Structure 1
Amino acid sequence: MQTMSDQAAAFRAVHPLAFTQHFLAEGVRPDGRRTLKSRRVHASASNLSSANGSALVRLGHTLVVAAVQAEPVTPAESEPARGRAVVTLEIAATSSVGGAAAIKGSGAAGRLEREQAATLELLQRTVSNNLVDLDSICIESGRAVWLLHCDVCVVEHDGNVLDAAMLAMTCAMQDVRLPSVQLEERDGLAPRLVVQQEEAIALPPPRPLFSLSFGVIGGHLVADPSAEEEVLCTTTFSVLFFEDGAFAGLHKPGGAPLPKPLADSAISAAKEKLPALVGVCLACQRTAAHESLQR
């Protein structure tokens, strides 16, 4: 004989939208959160000794790791004194959503690929325009600049990868220490790069961009949607703010049109959440700086 909990679980599996809407009508969600309540977020830096900078972010059960490797390269002829930064994004096949997409086939895999592409596009734009002053990572104009490889890996995907990935990338970039490099001239030979690890320096202070994401389920606005909720959303979008509270825009890569009242509510809710997210980033930065001094 089925218990009430068994019946609820069966209804949730067969009719997930109706199940979720039943909760949303009461202002709560199946996981117990209020509609505009975000999950707990934690960030730590300097997790990978082999990287020039790294960070780990947990957002609920979503887990993202970012690592930055610095490589001296010859600059582009068109920008002889400008460094480069390249972002890659991987969603591990062993993550819950990655594994589910592989099992469910092309439909789920296609949705995951679109999400990954949209997230990567924003991450790349952010690192190039906000997180790194590319002119400051020039070693010697026309001869050598730094190329920063930022690899972002979603180890566990339980929704809202963008917010976790953006924070992980930001903390990893703030953790970067570049070794002092000099070009040593040699008679009849190409100059040699001499790296002095003991003189590693931080990147110039960036202007971080913070993402706070929302979804719409049956006309209800929900903050920080889980993976289960994202599948039910008619649209998802992210509100972008700078650290000082300046509004940077909405990132909405597709989905149904977003009514203005819902957009306004999301912007207001995001602005209230921003100080806590900035605080997580600053605490991560302070801890990493302290640990760097101890090494």
Structure 2
Amino acid sequence: MGKDIDISTNQEHFVREALKLGIRTDGRSLLESRKPIISLSPDLYGFVEIEWGLTKLAVRISAEILQPYEDRPFEGLFTINTEISPMASPHFENGKNTDDEVLISRLIEKAIRRSNALDLESLCIVAGSKVWSIRADIHFLNFDGGLIDSACLGVMTALQHFKKPDISVNGEDIIIHSLDERQPVALSILHVPICVSFSFFNPGAVEENIKGDLNEEISIIDCTQQEELLRDGTLVITINKNRELIQISKSGGLPIDATMLMDLSSRALLIAEELTDMVKDLLKKDEQERYKKLNLKMLQAENSR
């Protein structure tokens, strides 16, 4: 983070002792994730707000026509921009690209672009000359842990919700049609990666300041800010509903044995299935509401004639 955060010895002792008893300060079980609240913009395609416990963020997808990379003439572009300002938490500094922002951008870029979740070839207009460039802007409005998980969910929801303008190609000329002229076109999403973060605590680290036995290690899911300050190791599993393991990112000194890794991957799969189905239902309802508004608008226009 941008600024050092202090946590009192009493707070640290309380949190760690509670975790030993299987208790968390917000009432969740050790392996229980927070339930996100997803809000889709009724007016703008690709604008999504996520409430992940007390963590809040907004994601905006935009598109423009640019020239592709020379070594990838048939692929469109996809970029991610993150902004964590002091508005989200006083612990972040304004105008500085923190380690958190770099880590989030890299993990989501790997999860989406490198796994081909967004079909970049479908963004090609004229090979080697014109392609769609898709940009995801992530703005964190409040911070209480879970930045990676909430950001990944927000970006994937926004990408599925977004629709780019339809175009016509006449030689070298490209005509971009307004939404009134033609229906916008959805992006080609091949699969939906979901990031699930686990954190590890060493029960013996507080009193003796030593690494405890591997069998005593405590693992929890979806840390709050307070828990993130005290954890001894992290593991981010990116997986989709198709049971495809996309990436594993581990940091911290504590080891993870194969049995625990398999168990955590199974739990991550259940969360990915639940979140994917939730987003699918929300998008379906949003589409139905838009069709109702469109039909009502057309009916009013006919009656006014």
Q: TM-score range by the shorter chain?
A: 0.7 to 0.9
- Cα drift, residue 206 of structure 1: 2.3
Q: 1:20 to 1:174 in 2, by over 3 A?
A: same
1:202 maps to what in 2? 186
Change (3 A) 1:24 1:149: same
For 1:251 and 1:47, the matched residues in 2 are separated by 35
Q: Identify the residue that residue 255 of structure 2 maps to in structure 1.
A: 258
State which of 78, 85, 91 in structure 2 corresponds to 1:100: 91
CA contact (8 A) 1:75 1:82 kept: yes
1:145 is aligned to 131
State whether residues 88 and 140 of structure 2, in contact with CA within 8 Å, keep that contact through their aligned partners in structure 1. Answer: yes
Q: Secondary structure at the match of 2:122?
A: helix
- Number of residue pairs matched? 268
d(CA) in 1 for partners of 2:284 and 2:146? 25
Kindly state the Cα deviation for residue 182 of structure 1 after the two structures are TM-superposed: 2.1
Give the root-mean-square deviation of aligned CA atoms. 2.4
- The correspondence for 2:239, drawn from 224, 227, 241, is 241
8 A Cα contact 1:131 1:173, kept in partner:
no
Pair 1:92–1:203, CA change in 2 (3 A): same
Distance 1:75 1:39 in 2: 39
In the TM superposition, 1:54-133 aligns within 5 A as 54-96=47-89, 99-102=90-93, 113-129=98-114, 130-133=116-119
Alignment-mate amino acid for residue 91 of structure 2: A
Q: Distance in 2 between matches of 1:249 and 1:127?
A: 11
Q: Equivalent residue for 2:148?
A: 162
Assess if the C-alpha contact under 8 Å between 2:111 and 2:247 holds in 1.
Answer: no
Give ranges in structure 2 of 5+ residues lacking alignment: 1-6, 203-216, 295-305
1:43 corresponds, among 18, 38, 42, to 38
Q: Compute the displacement of 1:72 (Å).
A: 0.8
Mapping of residues 155-194 of structure 1, within 5 Å: 155-184=141-170, 191-194=172-175
1:64/1:231 Cα in 2 relative to 1: closer, same or farther (>3 Å)? same
Aligned to 1:147, the other structure's residue is in SS state strand
1:102 positional shift: 4.4
Query: 2:243 and 2:290 mapped to 1: Cα distance?
Result: 29
Q: In structure 2, what residue type is equivalent to 1:269?
A: R
In structure 2, the CA distance between the partners of 1:47 and 1:155, relative to structure 1 (3 Å rule), is farther
CA distance in 2, matches of 1:181, 1:23: 58
Q: Work out the CA distance in 2 between the residues paired with 1:48 and 1:17.
A: 45
Letter in 2 for 1:208: V
* Paired residue type of 1:125: K
Contact (CA 8 Å) 1:213, 1:236: kept in 2 or not? yes
Q: Please state how far the C-alpha of 1:16 moved relative to its aligned partner.
A: 2.2
The answer to whether the Cα contact below 8 Å between 2:111 and 2:238 also exists between their aligned partners in 1 is no
Relative to its length, the structure with more helix (as a share) is 1
Query: Percent of counterpart pairs with the same letter?
Result: 22
Structure with the bigger percentage of strand: 1
Aligned residues of 1:241 and 1:247 also touching (Cα < 8 A): yes
Between the aligned partners of 2:189 and 2:163, the Cα distance in structure 1 is 12
Q: Distance in 2 between matches of 1:17 and 1:275?
A: 34
TM-score (ref. length: structure 2): 0.80
Aligned counterpart, 2:208: none
Give per-residue Cα distances to partners, 1:180-218, cap 9 Å, x unaligned: 112345xxxxx4431112231111232111111111122
| Selected match of 1:29 from 21, 24, 30 | 24
* Matched letter for residue 116 of structure 1: E
* Secondary structure of the structure 1 residue equivalent to 2:283: helix
The normalised TM-score by structure 1 is: 0.82
Residue 225 of structure 1 aligns to a residue in which SS?
Answer: coil
